């Protein structure tokens, strides 16, 4: 059975946790992701850091497919859209606590062949070398 990605659920939880601890939630985004719509003039080394605190953004939505909001960049209101797969991490600005995501939080399990029993890993063994 294939499950949906856990990344958006973890993002929402960490966002709430960071706010509950009176810190400022920041997200690190892969700005080169084809679906990411971020202000390119603030991209550095293919990444952008976004402040997503309630005082900094309007209409924040973190759903299972994407994170979106309206924020001000250089005084200009800008709509931002980031696929959840493009979020590299979420953390508190004040202390850096949070999480960096793996490339693929929920990799597809390998297909199973009902004819073949699963192979178990070999137990480690040691040899005496003289």
Residue 80 has pLDDT above 80, yes or no: yes
Digit-coded pLDDT (tens) for 96-128: 999 999 875 444 444 444 455 555 555 555 566
Q: Residue 49: phi, psi to the nearest 5?
A: -105, 130
Q: How far is CA 99 from CA 31, 94, 104, in A?
A: 18, 14, 14
At 69 the pLDDT is 98
Query: What residues contact 41, with CB distance under 8 A and at least 6 apart?
Result: 73, 74
| C-alpha to C-alpha distance for 3 and 108, rounded to whole angstroms | 9
Shortest CA distance to 56 belongs to which of 70, 41, 46?
70
Pair of tokens at residue 34: 């084809």
Give this prediction's pTM.
0.77
At 111 the pLDDT is 47
């Amino acid at each position: 059975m294939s499950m949906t990605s856990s990344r958006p659920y973890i993002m929402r939880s960490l966002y709430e946790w960071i706010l509950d601890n009176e810190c400022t939630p920041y997200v690190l985004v892969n700005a080169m992701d084809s679906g990411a719509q971020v202000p390119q003039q603030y991209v550095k080394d293919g990444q952008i850091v976004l402040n997503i605190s309630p005082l900094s953004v309007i209409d924040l939505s973190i759903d299972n497919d994407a994170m979106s909001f309206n924020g001000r960049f250089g005084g200009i209101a800008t709509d931002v859209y980031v696929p959840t797969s493009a979020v590299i991490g979420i953390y508190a600005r004040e202390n850096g606590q949070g999480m960096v995501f793996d490339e693929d939080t929920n990799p597809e399990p390998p297909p199973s062949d009902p004819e073949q029993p699963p192979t178990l890993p070999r137990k480690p063994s040691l040899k005496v070398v003289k």
